[in-house]
Amino acid sequence: MIAMSEQLQNIEFVFAQDLDLNNFDQLQKEEPFSEKAISFLNTLAIHLKNDPRANNFPEILTFAFFCRKANLLHLAKTYYPEKNRRIGRGVVFHITPSNMPMNFAYSLVSGILSGNLNIVRLPSKQFKQIDIICDSIKSISKQLEFRSYTKRILIVRYDKEGAATAYFSARCDARMIWGGDQTVQQIKKNAIPDRSIDITFADKYSICIINADTYIHESYPERLAQLFFNDTFLFDQNACTSPHLIVWLGSNDNVLNSKKIFWNNLYDLTKKRYKLQPHAAIDKLVSFYEQVIHLNNMRLTAMPDNLIWRIELNELTKEIEKFRCNCGYFVEYTASSLLDLSVIISKKHQTIACYGVENKDWNEFNLRNNLNVIDRLKPIGKTSEFSLTWDGFNLIDELSMPL
């Protein structure tokens, strides 16, 4: 039975395998990448791949691919060399963002692989992706092999105004907070034990760079639009990894022609695959007016309708990240070189998605600007790929301790 206190009223226990919450923290911690953890996650991967509902959500299939045994064994060699013996911290309380359905799954996996017991707070908003993954966990928990192991997982949903955050915070050894700066500060008002740690993932801003001199010779230009769509529209542009600023490099003629090809392809794809909600159309209009008030030398590039907004800048300023919007709202800038980015790059930038930019160009950029603040440099289409190093945190090391 779950021990219910006033603080736990109005909680939906989405997954709780015969859990006595009062004794949850007494369950055994493990070494990272334990055989049981890898077996459980591999079974989850197989179960998801066999669920016909998952075929409608490529992000679930990507998650299943991450959880397969071969990948986890590869990660174990990278993140947990045999000489570096560690053990999980204990109870990890994961607070996941309201607008990203898959975040809870990857956060949970990081807690499992680092050897911990895990309490996951789901978004209050309902997502089919969450239902599919939780259904798989429930099914696996009925197997004799995993009946005991799945007692280490608690998945809950509750209103953010409730007292449950304080309850779980007071009983955790590590707290992972995913969300905006205000969310992080609000949750931190709930105390954690003195020896516990917070790992926070606050607001980040991501950029896309396209080299038009390369793109203009692309044999299948519609493919780049598809990859960019996956980085942005699949998440309503809410992910911290989703680009908001598109920077073009190359000769003027190639940039002009590449823009036409790229945006036409993206629009055609978006028209077929994306449904714009009424509130999003209003948000875009409001965001544009706010930018007009605060930024100079910008203009709206005409598109057929409200699916895609393109705001073209004549100069980059540090204020650019303050006026981002989602659901297909993009700011463009044509740069003379990568060096133009030195004006805006800061610790608030997370991912740069690239096409046609060589690593040597980035190395020169970093050396000339004494910069080392970009967390991730990824090809377009790969920005949402999860890594156990996120926002500069090695999650295995952060969520475990030396033996």
pLDDT digits (tens, 9 = 90+) for 327-347: 999 999 999 988 888 888 877
Please indicate, yes or no, whether residues 15 and 134 belong to a single structural domain of this protein. yes
Q: Does residue 210 sit within a domain?
A: yes
Please indicate, yes or no, whether residues 147 and 209 belong to a single structural domain of this protein. no
Quote the pTM value: 0.88
Whether residue 369 has pLDDT greater than 80: no
Specify the CATH number for the domain of residue 174: 3.40.605.10
Give the total residue count for the chain: 403
Please indicate, yes or no, whether residues 119 and 228 belong to a single structural domain of this protein. no
Structural domain total, the chain? 2
Q: Does residue 39 sit within a domain?
A: yes
Whether residue 36 has pLDDT greater than 70: yes
DSSP three-state, residue 152: helix
Whether residue 6 has pLDDT greater than 70: no
3 compared with 360, residue with greater pLDDT: 360
φ/ψ of 83, rounded to 5, equals -75, -15
Please indicate, yes or no, whether residues 242 and 160 belong to a single structural domain of this protein. no
pLDDT band at 2 (very low <50, low <70, confident <90, very high): very low
Considering only CA atoms, which of 75, 74, 68 is closest in space to residue 45?
Answer: 68
Report the pLDDT value the prediction gives residue 72, as an integer from 0 to 100.
97
Whether residue 348 has pLDDT greater than 90: no
Report the pLDDT value the prediction gives residue 200, as an integer from 0 to 100.
93
Please indicate, yes or no, whether residues 264 and 358 belong to a single structural domain of this protein. yes
Whether residue 73 has pLDDT greater than 50: yes
Cα separation values, 141 from 47, 70, 111, Å: 12, 22, 18
CA atoms within 13 Å, Cβ hemisphere of 402 = 2
Specify the CATH number for the domain of residue 329: 3.40.309.10
Residue linked to tokens 């190395």: 363
How far is it, in rounded angstroms, from Cα 191 to Cα 89? 17
Please indicate, yes or no, whether residues 103 and 39 belong to a single structural domain of this protein. yes
Q: Does residue 298 sit within a domain?
A: yes
Please indicate, yes or no, whether residues 196 and 209 belong to a single structural domain of this protein. no
Considering only CA atoms, which of 248, 259, 256, 267 is closest in space to residue 207?
Answer: 248
Between the ranges 130-144, 229-243, 280-294, where is the mean pLDDT highest? 130-144
Please indicate, yes or no, whether residues 32 and 178 belong to a single structural domain of this protein. yes
Q: Tell me what the pLDDT averaged over the chain comes to.
A: 90
Between the ranges 21-25, 224-228, 362-366, 381-385, where is the mean pLDDT highest? 224-228
How far is it, in rounded angstroms, from Cα 16 to Cα 119? 10
Which residues touch 367 (CB under 8 Å, ≥6 apart)? none
Residue linked to tokens 């790969």: 382
Domain carrying residue 37: 6-203+387-402
Whether residue 82 has pLDDT greater than 80: no
Q: Does residue 1 sit within a domain?
A: no
Please indicate, yes or no, whether residues 31 and 135 belong to a single structural domain of this protein. yes
